[in-house]
């Protein structure tokens, strides 16, 4: 089997398996917290003058008000089956996308030999795509204040890329000088700092946000360990016919 097809098949199978498990975990943990946060968001939208006494009374009419930056003209899924079905679909696609990056990167180093090696690569993915961007931009709930979207996306991508490059220098660099450069590359985006909002004021209780951060990071950890482990287990099996 050609290398391209091997990467594609390994990533697709690992992505589907991990996406299904990850979506199940998200629907049980993070999604209920997102829905709860939206009740605060709607109450806040209904009472822009922070008149909390009227907030609940007006919450019923909040559907009409423009909740944060959602375009009310645009299509949106209906709550329940449609919305959760899309979460399942897009978590599987997220798994496929991250698996393509993980398997591609590991092929540069010769390819995953077993599930154990895959888990190590998965932990690197967790560090690159969850821990490093999450230090500056922790998981956030709807209605929480945030800096400019494009600036945050740029910082997120730059931080993930720098962390991946830094880890590669640490793991595969042949001199201590390269290891020092790797550490510098990992620390640099954190020194630059993520774009922050003008004000941190929010209607979301801190306890709710804390539970969400813990749930999001914990599910992400399981996601990456499983994604790497599955990819490492599949790769020798699918690449074998070419040998």
Per CB under 8 A, the list member of 28, 57, 149, 171 interacting with other proteins is 149
Per CB under 8 A, the list member of 17, 182, 216, 228 interacting with other proteins is 216
Under the binding rule (CB under 8 A), the answer on residue 205 touching other proteins is: no
Q: Do 209 and 33 form a contact (C-beta atoms < 8 A)?
A: no
Under the binding rule (CB under 8 A), the answer on residue 74 touching other proteins is: yes
Closest CA to 103 of 9, 23, 182: 9
Tokens 């698996």 sit on residue: 99
CB of 112 to other proteins, least distance (A): 10
CA distances (Å), origin 225, targets 22, 85, 125, 138, 196:
11, 24, 9, 20, 30
Rounded to the nearest 5°, which phi and psi values hold at 140? -130, 150
CB of 121 to other proteins, least distance (A): 14
- First and final CA of the chain: distance in angstroms? 9
Scanning residues 106 to 145, which ones bind other proteins (CB under 8 A)?
Answer: 107-111, 130, 133-134, 137-142
Per CB under 8 A, the list member of 24, 57, 90, 183 interacting with other proteins is 90
Under the binding rule (CB under 8 A), the answer on residue 152 touching other proteins is: yes
Q: How far apart are CA 143 and CA 204, in angstroms?
A: 7
Q: How far apart are CA 43 and CA 37, in angstroms?
A: 10
Q: Is the dihedral of CA 213, 214, 215, 221 positive or negative?
A: positive
Task: Give the total of residues touching other proteins (CB under 8 A).
Answer: 62
Which residues make up the interface to other proteins (CB under 8 A)? Answer: 2-4, 7-8, 11, 26, 30-31, 34, 68-71, 73-77, 83-84, 86-87, 90-91, 93-94, 96-101, 103-105, 107-111, 130, 133-134, 137-142, 146, 149, 152-153, 156-157, 216, 219-220, 239, 242-243
């Amino acid at each position: 089997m050609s290398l391209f097809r091997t990467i594609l098949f390994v990533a697709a199978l690992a992505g589907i398996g991990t996406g299904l498990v990850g979506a199940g975990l998200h629907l049980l943990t993070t999604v209920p917290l997102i829905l709860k946060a939206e009740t605060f968001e709607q109450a806040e939208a209904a009472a822009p003058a922070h008149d909390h006494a009227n907030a609940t009374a007006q919450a019923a009419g909040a559907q009409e008000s423009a909740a944060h930056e959602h375009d009310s003209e645009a299509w949106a899924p209906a709550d329940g089956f449609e919305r959760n079905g899309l979460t399942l679909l897009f978590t599987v696609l997220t798994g496929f996308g991250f698996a393509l990056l993980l398997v591609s990167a590991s092929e540069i180093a010769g390819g995953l030999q077993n599930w154990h090696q895959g888990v190590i690569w998965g932990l690197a993915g967790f560090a690159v795509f969850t821990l490093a961007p999450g230090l500056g931009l922790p998981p956030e709930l709807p209605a929480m204040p945030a800096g400019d979207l494009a600036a945050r996306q740029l910082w997120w991508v730059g931080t993930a890329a720098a962390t991946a490059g830094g880890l590669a220098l640490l793991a595969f660099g042949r001199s201590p000088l390269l290891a020092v450069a790797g550490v510098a590359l990992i620390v640099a985006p954190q020194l630059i700092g993520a774009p922050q909002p003008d004000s941190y004021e929010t209607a979301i209780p801190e306890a709710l946000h804390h539970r969400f951060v813990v749930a999001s990071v914990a599910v992400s950890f399981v996601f990456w360990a499983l994604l790497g482990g599955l990819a490492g287990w599949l790769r020798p099996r699918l690449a074998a016919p070419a040998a």
